[in-house]
Each structure stands twice: as C-alpha cells, then as structure tokens.
Structure 1
C-alpha cells in the first residue's frame, strides 16, 4: 500500500438504505487528502494543482465548491461567484454533502477504472455534473429558476451532460462516462442507480405534465439506452445497452431491444437476485437466451439470430433474445 494511503472501511451490506454519517464523511475527506499528498509527491507537475483543489481546503465541501466553480465558470459567470454559490448550497442543505460522499463511494466501488477517490473528485465528469445538478435542483426548489437554468446550461456546455434542474436524483448514483446523458424535467432517479453514457430519460412530446421516466433503486441502465415517457423502471431492474424502453419494467427483471421486451416474456419474465446498479452486470441475461425464446423472421436461422444480440440487420430491429 502506498505511503500515506488509508485503509478502506468495510463496504455497507445494504447500500440502498445506508445512512452516510459524519464519521464516514470525515474518513473520506482524510482519504482524499492522503491520496492527493501521495500523488503530489510522485508527480511534482501536479503538486500545485492538487494543492489548490484539495490540500488547501478544510473540507470536502470547500474543495468541491472550488473545483466546480473553476470548471463551470465563464468570462461572465465568475468562479468566485460560483464558489460562494456552491458553498452556500452545502451549508443550506447538508444532504448535499452526504449525497456527494455516497456518489464518490459508488464510483470507487463500482468502476474498476476509478483508481482513487481523489481521481473521481477531480476527473469524473459524471460525478461533477451530478453534484452541480444537486445545487441547481436546490435553486429550482427555492424558486431561483433563472440561476438554476444558467447553471444547468453551463453543466451541459462543459460536461456534455443535460439534466434538467427539476429532475430528482437519489444518492449513490454513478454516471459512468456520462457523455451524452439527458434527463428530463419530471424524471426521478432512485438510490444506487448506475447509468452509462448516451442514456436518455426523455419525454413523450407532451407540452407539460408528468412525462418522464421514474427509475427505481438499484437499477442499471446500459450505454445508449433510451427510456421515454412516464414509465416505471422497477427496483433492481436492468436495461440493456441500446434499448428503447416504452413500457413499465417490473422489479428485478431485464428489458432489452428496440422496442424493448422483457427477457423471459411479459407473462413470466426472468428475475435476478442481484442489484444490477451495484453489481454492474450488463450481460448475465444472455445465459438465458435460446433460439426457442424468440420468433425468428422468415428465412433466418437460429445461428444467424445470434448476430442480433449485438447488432440487428436493418430489416429486423427486434433482437430475438427477447421472448414476448
């Protein structure tokens, strides 16, 4: 173990209901500083950067406020103004701090590419976009909507992540890669959800009203998936990459395809025991796929059907991996 690095606390056995307390926040901030000191010693070129963003600050809230302010500032929206805005938000709503801690833990535990907490804090744009959204959501609830929308616009410009300020997001959320994520105004995302890049939680074309998806706790949404309308994705469900979901998805089931269907059939869909949003298991449903579980178009063979798991030919857009 590198010098100065602290040992990780045991993972919580039920992240969906875990309470992030002061001790956990204090431990995590100490860990982040230890990592920053280690990296500053091993990479002198980063020493000034790490000092200004992490080591010079007394708390995670101050470090995050400073870093977000510098990331999102513009020639007319000053970093000092944003720093004060973020810091005041943390003081106003302590749940923002516990949410940031839960999100950092989620990235470190679920993403094997995340080498440290400080790496996530400084470099994960999905994490940073989510923390900025939480502040814009607070502003939205305070009826400070022009400022909330201005912050939302800067997040979209800088991080290529478009989350409407009114959208509600739980804790322990991982936006992995995050590029191209769109979350609509009336969308709700539960706790311990993992969302990959180019995911859209979109509307139905209504002028207003409740028109966006509701994502339950522990859900995993694969890259490029599109979920449209006021549909409910049940707790612990899994949405396959590239799927277009227009229907409710029951808890602990898997929906795949365009349009998405339930693996195992809509009458008795196959169920899994794990929590995909935490396990990050994208492909376990494939083991249940057999040629008999789908209807093949005329002229297609069972062997050819396997091609549709990763890419359907233009004339056959519904992967036969799914029973109806």
Structure 2
C-alpha cells in the first residue's frame, strides 16, 4: 500500500515539475519563485511540506516548524501524499478554468488548507494534539479555513474559493465532495450533540450551514445559503432556510 502510494505521488510529482520547468523557462521572473517552491525539492512530500510552512508560518522559525511537522506526517504516512495528489487532481477535474496542476498547488489556498488539515489530523491521532490545534488555528488565521483535527475527510475533496469554511470536530465527509465559501458544518444544539455525516460526491453551495446529527446521502446537493438540520436523501437537492428537498429520485420523493 505504501509503495503504491509512493509510485502514484512520484508520477504526479514529475508532472508538476514538468509544468514548473516549462513555466520557469517561459518567464524568468516567475521562474525564481518556482525554483524555491518546486524545483529545489526532490519529491512532492518535500515541496508540499515547504508550501504549508510558507503559508502558515509568519517567521522563518515558524515556517520551518510547520514544514517539519508536515514532512514528518507525510513520511510517517505515505498515503497522505497519495490523497494530496487526488485532491489536487480533483481541482483540475471540477474547475473548468484549470487545466494544469501547478496553479492550484501554488495559488489555491483551499488546497493548502486541506493539506494542512490532513497533517493536523495525523498529529491528532499520533498524540500531538497541541500541535494539531496549532495547525488549525494558523490555517484559520492565515487562510480563513478552520477544520478541527478530529474531523474525518475523504479524498478528491475540493474547497473552492475557501474563505470562511468551518468544519467542526467529528464531522465526517466522504470522497469527491466540493465545498464552496462560507460553509459551516458542525454540531447542532440538541443533546446529545452529534455532527453531520456527509456522503460521497456531495456539492455544498456557498453560505450553506449543515448542523446536527444528520446524514447527507451520496450525490446530494446543498444549495447556496441553505440551512440543513435534517437528513438529505441520496441524490436530492436541499434549498432554502429552512431547507426543503427538491429534485429527489422517485423513491426518496415517495418516502
């Protein structure tokens, strides 16, 4: 499993390096930045660790510390790098304005915020909880994305625009989910307090709020500014405040 993850990340890394080299050749000024952020590194893990450090750390010492934590996580769990590659490729798949991997890697703060969360989640589950919460705090301050280290998020996830996203502890999010700006997902006010479980292939529009012990079924859609506090069956669309269901498959509509 680890060997397969390394091979997959190597292929993606060679593609990213190729894009970086072509961009550097075409623009010598931009090439100086690429030399430090991409071309100076031996593999995707090192480049991504450096990028996380640059985005989260204010001082040189802070950048080095965040980079070191990230590198330890990626070396400790090579699967994290494979998932990071899937997240990057998901942007190119779902964003019609993007054809290459280099621009979202360098410039999309949602991508960096998600990878910083993956490091924090690794730290959380390896008894480094203070460091994990530090990652959450700095990602919130620097990138306007706050994801609790105890959340669970699948692969091929795209945080689009990625400003004002808040995801609470114990939220579960599946694979291939797209989340737009100003989305909140977390516990409701009912007791006992539990967090939402978001299925696979979900689209969550800007400004949506999803709260409480609820399930959003696979391939459902949550409309912009919707307030969702009850289950959304698979394939349905939830719109409005409070949310109502529309465009459901017939069995869900009948139920």
Q: TM-score, normalised by structure 2?
A: 0.92
Q: Check the 8 A contact 2:190/2:212 in 1, yes or no.
A: no
Of the structure 1 ranges 66-75 and 130-139, higher mean CA displacement relative to structure 2 is found in: 66-75
1:222 matched to 2:209? The reply is no
> What aligned pairs does 1:126-275 form with structure 2 within 5 A after superposition?
126-205=110-189, 210-263=193-246, 269=252
CA distance in 2, matches of 1:116, 1:267: 39
- Describe the SS at the equivalent of 1:106: helix
- After superposition, give the CA deviation of every residue in 1:140-197 in whole Å (9 maximum; x if it has no partner): 1122111111111000011000111111111010001111111011101101111111
Q: Check the 8 A contact 1:218/1:236 in 2, yes or no.
A: yes
Residue 137 of structure 1: how far off its partner (Å) = 0.8
Distance 1:264-1:194 versus aligned 2 partners, 3 A rule = closer
Q: Check the 8 A contact 1:254/1:270 in 2, yes or no.
A: no
Q: Check the 8 A contact 1:194/1:221 in 2, yes or no.
A: yes
Which residue of 79, 86, 93 corresponds with 2:70?
Answer: 86
- Describe the SS at the equivalent of 1:182: strand
Q: Which has the larger radius of gyration?
A: 1
CA distance in 1, matches of 2:253, 2:41: 50
Q: Check the 8 A contact 1:245/1:260 in 2, yes or no.
A: yes
1:54 matched to 2:46? The reply is no
Q: Which residue of 2 aligns with 1:116?
A: 100
Q: Check the 8 A contact 2:56/2:139 in 1, yes or no.
A: yes
- Describe the SS at the equivalent of 2:70: helix
Residue 111 of structure 1: how far off its partner (Å) = 0.7
Instruction: State the aligned residue count.
Output: 252
CA distance in 2, matches of 1:239, 1:139: 31
Higher relative helix content? 2
- Describe the SS at the equivalent of 1:251: coil
Of the structure 1 ranges 256-265 and 85-94, higher mean CA displacement relative to structure 2 is found in: 256-265
Q: Check the 8 A contact 1:186/1:210 in 2, yes or no.
A: no
- RMSD over aligned Cα, in angstroms? 2.2
Q: TM-score, normalised by structure 1?
A: 0.73
- After superposition, give the CA deviation of every residue in 1:110-146 in whole Å (9 maximum; x if it has no partner): 1112242011111111110000001101111122111
| Alignment gaps of 5+ in structure 2 | none
- After superposition, give the CA deviation of every residue in 1:254-288 in whole Å (9 maximum; x if it has no partner): 111111111157995469xxxxxxxxxxxxxxxxx
Q: Check the 8 A contact 1:188/1:214 in 2, yes or no.
A: yes
